[in-house]
Amino acid sequence: MLVTMKEILGDAKEKKYAVGAFNVPNLESIQAVISAAEELGVPVIIQHAEVHENLISMQEIGPIMLDYAKRASVPVCVHLDHGASFDLCVQAIRLGFTSVMYDASAKSYEENFEETKEMVKIAHAAGVSVEAELGHIFTSAVGGGEGRGAVGADDFESLEDCYTDPDTAKAFVEGTDVDALAISFGTTHGVYLTEPKLDLNRITEIKNKIDIPFVMHGGSGVSDEDFKTSIQNGITKINYYTYSSMAGGNKVREFINAAGDEKVFFHDIIAAGKEAMKENVKAAMKVFASSILD
């Protein structure tokens, strides 16, 4: 069932759970994520990231994502993740995506505000939800996938310079009318090289200013306990990709090593990797939606 992000996150906000948002740069990823969501009976967001245009274009993968979403037995939002290009966001809307993230967080606050406000006007006119980002999400040197290189706390004079400011977030949301806001509180895109230092109270501080769905980027590698606390504090969408992709890759390596000198068929490799991704995604979903699954 194809739905908007606003619909999915509205229910999650009300019932205090989070919807997993998974990047799906190939058919097997789509199948793994949708199958996991259907088995658990939970809503899900499947995403195409602009940075994955080098793997497959949105024009190619988008229609497949939409087809699987429409035929799914659970609510599915089809979302453009980290759309830094205004044109790509518009293309996603025209393709039938039900949500876009316009990411101008690397620009000045004024540019981010004005450009996001314009994107919201365009998207809302088409019935499409919009996510934006304030603050700076750290990016590891391994599997960060943001196309900006590694970015950590040492790149800023203080953590306050990269974490989302509650008052600024309030002004941004009220002025742009975005449906969801990705906030920075210490998570990292890619593989965690050191234990993350999360400011989980900052989520609550922002929520006390504006009561809209908040998004955690860099969800891979966060402990189950921190996930659950983040959700209780106001996170309703969690982006998760790196560790599920690694699970598939590790399973493929294990499969090939176990085969030894035996013949290895490509379709068997794909099946093994897909099943491992599915199980990893299911485990994450059980944490994100524990309040409605318990």
103 annotated ligand-binding residue: yes
| Contact between 121 and 179 (Cβ < 8 Å) | no
Kind and range of the H or E run holding 130: strand 129-134
| Contact between 85 and 27 (Cβ < 8 Å) | no
79 annotated ligand-binding residue: no
Nearest to 49 by CA among 6, 9, 92, 112: 92
Nearest to 5 by CA among 76, 54, 62, 57: 76
Q: Which of the residues 11, 67, 81, 199 is marked catalytic?
A: 81
144 annotated ligand-binding residue: no
Q: Number of helices and strands (H, E) in the chain?
A: 11, 10
230 annotated ligand-binding residue: no
- Length of the chain counted residue by residue: 294
188 annotated ligand-binding residue: no
| Whether 261 is catalytic | no
239 annotated ligand-binding residue: yes
Nearest to 240 by CA among 216, 214, 219: 219
241 annotated ligand-binding residue: yes
- Single-letter amino acid, residue 77: C
Between β-strands 214-216 and 235-240, what pairing exists: parallel, antiparallel or unpaired? parallel
Task: Write b or e for each residue in 253-291: b if 16 or more Cβ atoms lie within 10 A of its Cβ, otherwise e.
Answer: eebeeeeeeeeeeeeebbebbbbbbbbbbbebbbbbbbe
How deeply is 153 buried, as exposed, middle or buried, from its count of CB atoms within 10 A (0-12, 13-18, 19+)?
Answer: middle
208 annotated ligand-binding residue: no
Backbone angles phi, psi at 186, to 5 degrees: 115, 0
48 annotated ligand-binding residue: no
218 annotated ligand-binding residue: yes
280 annotated ligand-binding residue: no
Known binding positions for Zn(2+): 82, 103, 133, 189, 217
Instruction: Give the active site residues.
Output: 81
Known binding positions for dihydroxyacetone phosphate: 190, 218-220, 239-242
Known binding positions: 82, 103, 133, 189-190, 217-220, 239-242
